[in-house]
Structure 1
Amino acid sequence: MRPSPRRYGVPLGYVPAYALVFATALAALTGCAGGRGGADARPTAPAASRPAPRTTAPEDLCARLVTHWARVVLDGGAQAGLDYQAMGLSGGQNDILRGVVDAARAEEKAHGPAAAGRLVAVRAERRCADRYRDGGPTGGPWQ
């Protein structure tokens, strides 16, 4: 039996692990991996023909969040006891939520739950619009 041929002290056919990792990464970056070639490959649409992702204005997102959580708190559901960060609110949005809930509770006592629900929607929208009128807070990520 013949010994395996060697070049530079390494047997031919031996591939170091780092070379395999490099080749795999290179194939992924250049699009050579994943079966994208061949007759069954689907062409991708040019960027101009794809619809733009939809975004929500910060004041609209704030109003939606505050309205949702105000209704949860007023209904007294199991999630009513969450802290503002678990609700996905910033500190400023939490201040708006507390003010809206306080006003809605007073409205509910005076005029019933339907009036409180209307007040929640109107107050949340107005307070969030005021908060984000100048482009939003700049005091930190949770402001």
Structure 2
Amino acid sequence: MTKAGVCRRGAALGLALLAACSTGGCGGPGADPSPAGGNSPSPTATSPAELCTRLIGYWSRRALTGDTYGDYQSMGLSDGQYEILRTVVDAARAERARAGDAAAGRLIDRRARTACEKRYRDGGPTGGPWG
């Protein structure tokens, strides 16, 4: 077979494979052929505000029980997130003394979400590289 024949056969095989995969022939049973890539390990990204809320909620609960260590960097927080944490924990301590642990937990959730949504309302922090 000539070199041109091999190239034509390779091109034809490539086109056939491309056509088969584009019609859902690749990916195995149950594979999602959508452009979003249903086989992706992370189909949705966590927003900065949601990530902040989770971090603040976690560390606030730990701080409330006295189970923390290190500084804000060892907690994975920015300086701005640490300010939110301190404010939330102070309010949660007062709420726990007034109404108990469950009320303090609800306050943590509310305050963390509100402060983080405000902080990331435009998509990112506003205060320099450590924001």
Interval containing the TM-score (normalised by the shorter chain): 0.5 to 0.7
CA root-mean-square deviation: 2.1
Structure 2 residue 59 is the aligned partner of structure 1 residue 69:
yes
**Alpha-carbon distance between aligned partners in 2 of 1:61 and 1:49, rounded to the nearest angstrom:** 22
Distance 1:49 1:118, change over 3 A: closer
Structure 2: which amino acid aligns with 1:72?
R
Tell me which moved more, 80-89 or 57-66: 80-89
- Separation in 2 of the partners of 1:114 and 1:108? 8
Question: Residue 100 and residue 49 in structure 1: after superposition, are their counterparts in 2 closer, same or farther (change >3 A)?
Answer: closer
Deviant stretches of 4+, over 6 Å: none
1:1-143, aligned counterparts within 5 Å? 48=35, 50-51=37-38, 52=40, 53=42, 54-77=44-67, 80-143=68-131
Matching residue's letter, 1:116: A
Report sequence identity in percent. 54
Larger Cα-atom Rg: 1
Point out where structure 1 has 5 or more consecutive residues left out of the alignment: 1-43
Displacement of 1:138 in angstroms is: 3.9
Q: Which has the higher contact order (CA 8 A, sep 6+)?
A: 2
**1:47 Cα deviation (Å)?**
9.1
Q: How many residues align?
A: 99
TM-score by length of 1: 0.62
Unpaired runs of 5+ residues, structure 2, are: 1-25, 28-32
